Copies of this chain bind each other. A is one copy, B any other.
Amino acid sequence: MAARRGITIEDVARAAGVSRQTISNALNAPQRLKPETLERVTRLIEELGYRPDQSARSLKSGTRRIIAYPTPVDDPANPNPLMGGFLEAVVASAGEVGYRILLLRPRPGQSQEQALDEVIAARTVDAFLLSDVMRDDPRVAHLTAAGFPFAAFGRTMPDQPQSWVDVDSVQAVIELVGLLAARGHRRVAFLASVGAQPWMEDRRDGFRAGVRRHGLVGQEFSAPGDGPAELVTVTRELLRGRNRPTAVVAAGDWLALGVYAAAREEGVEIGADLALAAFDDLPLTAFLHPALTTVRLPLQRIARALIGRLIQTVEDGTTPQAGLLLPGELVIRPSIGP
């Protein structure tokens, strides 16, 4: 389609009887203009609906006002809790400071790093926003090596830029265990998923720390996969074992769903026979019976902090000296009992 070219700066300049540069200044450095000129020009810009061509501006200035976000793979067998609210929050936060989010995904046969290189080389974006960052994430290493601005939801290594934000999962799970201890539970289990994602590890560490601090007896279980059947199977074993725990901390709400299913099949009543707490506060948790005690991630704050760090890196050229650890919010519901 022949993209009918639109209003250019030249059109506005002609209409206003001034030069290009004056229009440019009206937008980028208004203080340079005589107030009356500014007002006249501004009105004209408004009337004609002029917007600087982003490509031309980018070509000259080298800045795109676009942030790339490599979308996490969203396995239907274990939906990424970030795809909903987090993405929203990121788009909103970025929008507030005049940036937009470009979704990225490696083409078939392309590595994550190649996908990053492609947009870097094509100068399509100013920076990257990474989520689901692993302990030794190749993307972080790659961007660090390339000296390209990024911010990460999830900790980076000490020798890498500390441009990260993360949730203090350890602390949150310690508090969860504390709630259980306060209700008199002595035998508590931790239910994890297979992956070695750092947040899983953190939650496990939190569990261990909580158990130690309160002198409880802790057991740990791992589901061989994230599919419903596998989850239910491992949880039934957990519930059937001798010395059945009286409380379970699931590393994520998704895992907790398996506990609900297994408990029903085993005739165990959650909230009465078994206390249950989890992590993520998926929207559906309100429908569970009894409703699930869980930890809500401060997605808005995380998004805002990440975007803030990104903008700082891009516009000032300075890298944050330290990461930012935000607390999770305990949402106490009946699943842990009265």
Residues of chain A touching chain B, judged by Cβ–Cβ distance below 8 Å, are 1-7, 49-56, 58-59, 62-64, 66, 71, 73-74, 76-77, 79-80, 83-85, 87-88, 91-92, 95-96, 100-105, 107-108, 117-118, 120-124, 126, 147, 149, 228, 257-258, 260-261, 264, 282-284, 286-287, 289, 313-317
Question: Would you give the shortest CB distance from A56 to chain B, in whole angstroms?
Answer: 5
Residues of chain B lying within 8 A (CB to CB) of residue A6 = 120-121, 123
Interchain residue pairs with CB less than 8 A apart (17): A1-B314, A2-B317, A6-B123, A50-B121, A51-B122, A52-B122, A53-B122, A54-B122, A71-B88, A71-B91, A74-B84, A83-B84, A87-B87, A101-B102, A261-B287, A261-B289, A264-B289
Q: Find out whether the CB atom of A316 lies under 8 angstroms from the CB atom of B1.
A: yes
Residue of B nearest to A1 (CB): B317
Q: Find out whether the CB atom of A149 lies under 8 angstroms from the CB atom of B49.
A: no
Looking at A122, A313, A315, which has the most chain B CB atoms within 10 Å of its CB?
Answer: A122
Instruction: Give Cα A257–Cα B285 distance, bound, in whole angstroms.
Output: 10
Question: Would you give the shortest CB distance from A101 to chain B, in whole angstroms?
Answer: 4
Residues of chain B lying within 8 A (CB to CB) of residue A79 = 84, 283
Q: Find out whether the CB atom of B1 lies under 8 angstroms from the CB atom of A315.
A: yes
Copies of this protein, total: 2
Residue of B nearest to A319 (CB): B1
Residues of chain B lying within 8 A (CB to CB) of residue A104 = 91, 100
Given contacts A103-B91, A283-B79, A123 and B49 within 8 Å (CB-CB): no
Instruction: Give Cα A214–Cα B143 distance, bound, in whole angstroms.
Output: 62
Residues of chain B lying within 8 A (CB to CB) of residue A59 = 53, 55-56, 59
Given contacts A2-B317, A63-B3, A314-B1, A107 and B96 within 8 Å (CB-CB): yes
Partner of A54, one of B103, B123, B284: B123
Residue of B nearest to A261 (CB): B287
Instruction: Give Cα A83–Cα B50 distance, bound, in whole angstroms.
Output: 33
Question: Would you give the shortest CB distance from A229 to chain B, in whole angstroms?
Answer: 8
Q: Find out whether the CB atom of B105 lies under 8 angstroms from the CB atom of A102.
A: no
Q: Find out whether the CB atom of A228 lies under 8 angstroms from the CB atom of B287.
A: yes
Residues of chain B lying within 8 A (CB to CB) of residue A257 = 284, 287
Q: Find out whether the CB atom of B258 lies under 8 angstroms from the CB atom of A102.
A: no
Instruction: Give Cα A302–Cα B289 distance, bound, in whole angstroms.
Output: 35
Question: Would you give the shortest CB distance from A276 to chain B, in whole angstroms?
Answer: 14
Instruction: Give Cα A316–Cα B281 distance, bound, in whole angstroms.
Output: 46
Question: Would you give the shortest CB distance from A50 to chain B, in whole angstroms?
Answer: 7
Question: Would you give the shortest CB distance from A42 to chain B, in whole angstroms?
Answer: 16
Q: Find out whether the CB atom of A283 lies under 8 angstroms from the CB atom of B76.
A: yes
Q: Find out whether the CB atom of A103 lies under 8 angstroms from the CB atom of B105.
A: no
Residues of chain B lying within 8 A (CB to CB) of residue A228 = 286-287
Looking at A53, A147, A257, A317, which has the most chain B CB atoms within 10 Å of its CB?
Answer: A53
Q: Find out whether the CB atom of A64 lies under 8 angstroms from the CB atom of B74.
A: no
Question: Would you give the shortest CB distance from A313 to chain B, in whole angstroms?
Answer: 7
Partner of A121, one of B49, B103, B108: B49
